[in-house]
C-alpha cells in the first residue's frame, strides 16, 4: 500500500508504510524532541514571551539515501544553521559573547536568550534553515554501522564553538604543514584581513563553518571526528545545533544507508512564523519555504494531506487546527 507523503526539499518519492510527514509528526518523535528542547535554559529563569520548550514543532527537511561503494564528498566536517551570520548578525554573535570577550570557558552552548532572535540566514541561500533548531537529528531507515556511510561528530561542542568563533582572529607564523603548527607561540592575534577560515562563498551567500585539518589544526579532526554507533531502522540520532559533524566518505556495507532528517524545533516566535508559512506549502504540495521553490510535484500521487495528521500534538506541531469530535 502506498501512502501519501510530503515533498521533502525537492525529493519526491513514494514509500510503503509510514511516510516522511507522518514520521516527523509522530507523537513519540515529538515527545523526544521536547526532552531535547528542555536541555536549553534561560539564565534569568524567566521564559521569554511566545516561547514554550514543551511545545514541539515540525520542520520539513530532506532525507538521504547513500548507495554502498560510492565515495561521498558532499558532507565534510561542517556546522549547520548559519554561516558568516555567526559573526555578522548581532543577535547570533551574542550567542558567543563569552567567547568573544575572552571568557570562553564560561560559554554555555545551551543558553537560550540570544538564539531566539538570531538570524541564521541573511542572504536567502536555498536550503539554509531560517529556524532555530535546538538539535539536528535523523531517523534511521536502514541498518547502518561505522564505515557504512554514517554520521561523524566532534565530541565537544563548547570547545569547537570557542575554536571556530576565534579562529578568524589568529594567524599562524609558520607554514600550515609545519611540525610546530600546534605550538601556541607560532600563532598571533591578527585582524588585518577579512578572511574567515572555513567560510566559503556560495551563490548569493556563504556556506560553512567547514573546519579542515589544515585551517583548524588544533581540532585534530582526523583523530577526533567520531562515528556514531550502529543503528537499526527506527533508531534516532540527535546532535546539538552547533556540533561539527560530517558524513563518512566511505560506505563499505552491502546495502543502502538511509536516514530521514528530523530536527528538534521548539515553539518560539521565529519558529511559529515559519511553521505558518510551511503549512501553506504543505497544503499546496510545494517545497517548504527554506528550500528551492518547486511546484512540479503538486500533481504527484502520494503527497501528504491534512487528513494524515490526526493526533493533537501532531496537528499543533504542524500548525493545523485541532479536530473536535
- Regarding predicted confidence, which is higher, 4 or 241? 241
Per the listing, cell 514554550 goes with 52
Give the integer Cα–Cα distance in Å for 133 and 58. 10
- Give the domain range for residue 42: 1-61+268-325
In a domain, 52, yes or no: yes
Triad 90, 91, 96: Cα angle to 5°? 95
In a domain, 35, yes or no: yes
pLDDT of residue 139: 97
Average model confidence (pLDDT) for the chain? 89
In a domain, 277, yes or no: yes
Half-sphere exposure of 45 (CA within 13 A, CB side): 0
In a domain, 252, yes or no: no
In a domain, 228, yes or no: no
pLDDT in tens, 21-71: 889 999 999 999 999 999 999 988 888 999 999 999 999 998 888 889 888
The strand pair at 52-56 and 266-267 is best described as: antiparallel
Half-sphere exposure of 46 (CA within 13 A, CB side): 3
In 3D, which of 160, 158, 84 has the Cα closest to residue 122?
A: 84
In a domain, 129, yes or no: no
Element (H, E) at 93: helix 90-94
In the chain, the N- to C-terminal Cα span, in Å, equals 28
pLDDT in tens, 285-324: 888 999 887 665 566 667 778 888 999 999 999 999 987 7
pLDDT of residue 52: 98
pLDDT in tens, 275-290: 999 999 998 888 899 9
Q: Domain total for the chain?
A: 1
In a domain, 171, yes or no: no
Residue 231 φ/ψ, nearest 5 degrees: -120, 155
Question: pLDDT category, 157, cuts 50, 70, 90?
Answer: very high
pLDDT at position 107 over 80: yes
Element (H, E) at 246: strand 245-247
In a domain, 302, yes or no: yes
Local structure of 170: helix, strand or coil: strand
Amino acid at each position: 500500500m502506498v501512502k501519501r507523503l510530503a515533498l521533502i526539499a525537492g525529493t519526491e518519492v513514494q514509500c510503503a508504510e509510514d511516510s516522511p510527514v507522518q514520521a516527523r509528526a509522530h507523537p513519540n518523535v515529538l515527545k523526544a524532541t521536547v526532552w531535547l528542547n528542555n536541555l536549553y535554559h534561560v539564565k534569568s529563569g524567566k521564559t521569554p514571551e511566545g516561547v514554550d520548550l514543551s511545545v514541539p514543532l515540525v520542520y520539513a527537511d530532506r532525507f538521504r539515501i547513500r548507495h554502498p561503494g560510492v565515495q561521498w564528498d558532499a558532507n565534510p566536517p561542517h556546522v549547520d544553521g548559519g554561516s558568516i551570520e555567526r559573526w555578522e548578525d548581532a543577535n547570533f554573535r551574542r550567542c558567543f559573547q563569552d567567547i568573544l570577550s575572552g571568557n570562553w570557558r564560561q560559554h554555555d552552548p545551551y543558553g537560550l536568550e540570544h538564539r531566539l532572535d538570531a538570524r541564521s540566514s541573511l542572504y536567502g541561500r536555498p536550503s539554509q534553515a531560517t529556524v532555530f533548531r535546538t538539535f539536528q537529528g535523523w531517523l534511521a531507515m536502514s541498518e547502518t554501522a561505522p564505515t557504512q556511510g554514517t554520521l561523524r561528530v566532534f565530541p565537544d561542542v563548547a570547545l569547537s564553538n570557542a575554536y571556530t568563533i576565534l579562529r578568524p582572529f589568529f594567524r599562524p607564523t609558520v607554514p600550515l604543514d609545519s611540525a610546530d603548527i600546534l605550538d601556541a607561540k607560532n600563532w598571533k592575534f591578527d585582524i588585518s584581513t577579512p578572511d574567515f577560515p572555513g567560510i566559503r562563498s556560495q551563490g548569493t551567500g556563504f556556506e560553512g563553518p567547514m573546519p579542515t585539518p589544515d585551517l583548524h589544526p588544533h581540532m585534530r579532526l582526523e583523530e577526533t571526528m567520531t562515528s556514531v554507533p550502529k543503528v537499526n531502522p527506527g533508531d534516532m540520532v540527535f546532535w546539538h545545533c552547533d556540533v561539527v559533524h560530517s558524513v563518512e566518505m566511505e560506505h563499505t556495507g552491502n546495502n543502502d544507508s538511509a536516514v530521514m532528517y528530523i530536527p528538534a524545533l521548539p515553539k518560539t516566535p521565529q519558529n511559529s512564523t515559519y511553521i505558518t508559512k510551511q503549512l501553506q506549502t504543505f497544503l499546496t504540495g510545494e517545497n517548504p519555504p527554506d528550500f528551492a521553490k518547486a511546484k512540479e510535484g503538486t500533481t504527484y500521487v502520494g503527497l501528504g494531506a491534512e487528513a494524515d495528521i490526526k493526533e493533537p500534538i501532531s496537528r499543533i506541531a504542524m500548525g493545523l487546527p485541532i479536530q473536535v469530535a
